[in-house]
Amino acid sequence: MFEIPKLKHTDSGNFFLMAGPCAIEGEDMAMQIAERIKTITDKLQVPWIFKGSYRKANRSRIDSFTGIGDEKALRILEKVGKEFDVPTVTDIHESNEAAMAAAFVDVLQIPAFLCRQTDLLIAAANTGKVVNVKKGQFLSGNSMRYAVDKVRESGNEKVILTDRGNSFGYSDLVVDFRNLPEMQATGAPVVMDVTHSLQQPNQSSGVTGGKPALIETIAKAAIAVGADGLFIETHPQPSIAKSDGANMLPLDQLEDLLQKLIRIRQAVR
């Protein structure tokens, strides 16, 4: 895999991890989560990228939490990266956000619903940062080669692909594990977004539901299939998280899960 700044333990043979809260809710929360994940990933020698959205643009209801302010949240991401010497990733939503976010983080993430937005992909690529493109819930793994081409043909070879399930009816998602090897055929590292693939969107309440009890199941299967990395949103108290709490992993369960996944990784290798 291409070099990601500050990414440690890449010689351990383990999968890499993108993990953190769904959204940056405040500095204390972000630092608490980052400190705990760093302790765990250093102990287990799992390469780790801290994830946190500086703004949530895709919300069902107008009164849903969207963020604490762009610059404030981005500076918290920057502080996490510096204090814990860890790379950071956040999602961007419009082309004019790419350069702004790139000044604070190491990886720019393209949300699944926006993975076909050519101008957004080009803007992200032009920053020179690593670009993580999430596969649309409406696309096959094979079709993501065009997103990869857009980034590479813009002069940036540093692209990651992430699967987060496919739409199944109106209010559910299903994971088709054929997508992982199909996307790996592009030569890009492939990540399984474990927690978002367990969402149940479009609920009548306007609040997305989820099936967090299946996090371990999806994660185990992804590693067995050969995923290069995992994406897991985690929070000390998912029930009070301001975004996507219904499908997040309780932080105190992360270490045990990673230990199980490392054993699977060792077996399949």
The share of the chain scoring above pLDDT 90, in percent, equals 84
Report the predicted TM-score, pTM, of the whole model to 2 decimal places: 0.94
CA–chain centroid gap for 83, Å, is 21
Q: Rounded to whole angstroms, what are the CA distances from 264 to 12, 24, 30, 50, 147?
A: 14, 31, 29, 23, 30
CATH number of 16-268: 3.20.20.70
On the CB side of 245, CA atoms within 13 Å amount to 12
pLDDT in tens, 78-122: 999 999 999 999 999 999 999 999 999 999 999 999 999 999 999
State the Cα–Cα distance between residues 124 and 116, nearest whole angstrom. 13
pLDDT at residue 177, rounded to an integer: 98
Amino acid at 247: N
Domains of the chain by residue range: 16-268
Cα 11-128-88 angle, rounded to 5 deg: 55
CA dist 47 to 41, 170, 188, 258, Å?
7, 36, 17, 12
How sure is the predictor about 204, in pLDDT bands with cuts at 50, 70 and 90? very low
Q: What does the pLDDT look like over 19-36, one tens digit per residue?
A: 999 999 999 999 999 999
Radius of gyration for the alpha carbons in the chain, expressed in angstroms and rounded = 17
83 three-class SS: helix
pLDDT at 86: 98
pLDDT tens figures, 235-244: 999 988 887 7
User: Running DSSP on this structure, what letter comes out for residue 15?
Assistant: P
Residue found by looking up tokens 């054929």 in the block: 178
Residue 89 gets which letter from DSSP?
E
Q: What is the pLDDT of residues 106-118, one digit of tens each?
A: 999 999 999 999 9
Of residues 211 and 36, the one with the higher pLDDT is 36
b/e burial code for range 173-208 (CB count within 10 A of at least 16 → b): bebebebbebbbebebbbbbbbbbbbbbbeeeeeeb
- Count other C-beta atoms under 10 Å from residue 256's C-beta: 11
